[in-house]
Structure 1
Amino acid sequence: MGKPTGFKEFERRPEPYVPVGERLKHYKEFVLALSDEDAAVQGARCMDCGIPFCNNGCPVNNIIPDWNDLVYRGEWRQAIEVLHSTNNFPEFTSRICPAPCEAACTLNINDDAVGIKSIERAIIDKAWSEGWIKPEVAAVKTGKKIAIVGSGPAGLAAAQQLARAGHAVVVFEKNDRIGGLLRYGIPDFKMEKSLIDMRMEQMAAEGVEFRAGIYIGNTDVPRGVKNYARERISPEQLIKDFDAVILAAGSEVPRDLPVPGRQLEGVHFALEFLIPQNKEVAGDEPNTISAKGCNVIVIGGGDTGSDCVGTSYRHGARS
């Protein structure tokens, strides 16, 4: 490690936030990235434990101590190479992942955990701004055709890996645009959708074909699930046309509550509210559900619940 005593010398510095009064005026991201200098200091706090529990805490097994040290040393380009070796889309995870790696950080025993998520964002944002992220086109094509149903993070990651392995990949999405819940379920104030568009450009250059507005299935979607498809393709046709099919459609079926008043006007599932709002922010169509002047009750205190709260306040909700 470049700074063996960094965890003793430096305190954790979180990413700065846009003030509440300002952030409620728009739908842009309100969590700002660390400067290069601050990220380097935060990287110096990594203890290089020997057995890095943060690696096991990370769902994609990011090699966290290595890129922490590289950021401290100013080796940013090598840091993004190490980060990309385990994570296709750090621009997504560094914004919306709950960071179980930080919960696993050994420094938690007697101090604040290393700000792993903020360092990850600093790395990927710098890589994009410096133009280091380029298409990685397969040198040899296999001649195999792969269909991927669903364009959320799982579908996109599979598409990128398979295209780089030389397969011809087609991604199918029932909504108007590619991205799944990344695009339609998460508000722009948490993750701006230009990040998806940049990654799609890279993937298209790598040979991935995107087909939006197509629903794969013989039955209608369940109650509470939005379907903006303009075309339907049967699973049997997909199996006939492709060598392999990956199902990465996710789970959009909401959990209903058998409570009195559930049938009343003004009671909505979260995605009935969030999806139209994301479409409105994208300039596609207006959201017909407005919280302006309303006293809003959100049942559920997870990320989706907080997204509904943030969106309601930006509408001008009374409370």
Structure 2
Amino acid sequence: MNAASFPSPSATARAAGPAAGAPAISAAGLRKEFTVKRRAGRVRRTSHTVAAVAGVDLAVGHGETIGYIGPNGAGKSTTLKMMTGVLAPSGGELRVCGLEPVPRRKQLARRVGVVFGQRSQLWWDLPLHESFRLLRYVYAVPEAEHARRLAACRELLDLGAFWDTPVRQLSLGQRMRGEITAALLHGPGVLFLDEPTIGLDVVSKQALRSFLAELGARGDVTIVLTTHDLADIERLCPRLVVVDHGRVVHDGTLAALHDRYGSRRRVVADLDRPYDELPHVPGAKVERVEDDGHRVVFALDGVPAGGLIGRLAQLGGLRDVAVQEPDIEEVVARLYAQSP
């Protein structure tokens, strides 16, 4: 896939976007509280206030791609729902594309694209291309602009093979490519993606990541991605925002997070025979040796795995190799364990 020829955001999105120099998304002291009732006896209930988002400060520049991650219940989805106008904040300030999301929800809907894993913009019983045709009317997109974007998506996301297939018969990977297309057809300035690769096979994941990486590299669309898959973050997001208990606890690069909290990627190499000397690669160290020297586990200190794998291959006798990504839940748990 190649997103180099993908059309830029629509004139509507550009005209209604934030003023020059202003961020595409800005949040200051953003809060969302819910009232829950708990049993306090056989019939009595007491009310308690729970803060799902507890004071988020965030600025995302135009054309920036960020990963917005954290453990389950950290407030990620709640934040995205406020940014898209689905939920009203309990406090603080929020602007997306220069608009306050809830009061200007209809205008905002024409400037943002949204892909939530549990929600679909596609009509279940219609052929895929019919959903795209209907969305042109929903968003009031000029016919020529819609045709240009649809042609680009059809080529870049390889939709032709299932163009006439009813949505209910699509595989998960095919449907996700359709959802991405639906979110881009009206030329949004900001694209929100909630777990876009969850449940996809390896080939579908790689294809979708390649498209999104090149789309982000163009700098025309601001992308906010939530995911539990660190491979998504590593490939797509130069900037990583980690939230837990409704607060931002890290805002920087993935490498900075690993360096700060000691999380490491690992390379597991299975060898035909043990070696007296293993290759020395800066940033890679032997963590342990197993199976009488036939399996070696290396820990990577912020360096790509390719250099180490290449040196192992030069030795000969490399039977198998696997790269193990640290689990995001473990990373955030370590982050909080070390926080004062």
What is the TM-score of this pair, normalised by structure 2? 0.25
User: Which structure would you say has the larger RCO, counting Cα contacts within 8 Å and 6 or more residues apart?
Assistant: 2
Which has more radius of gyration? 2
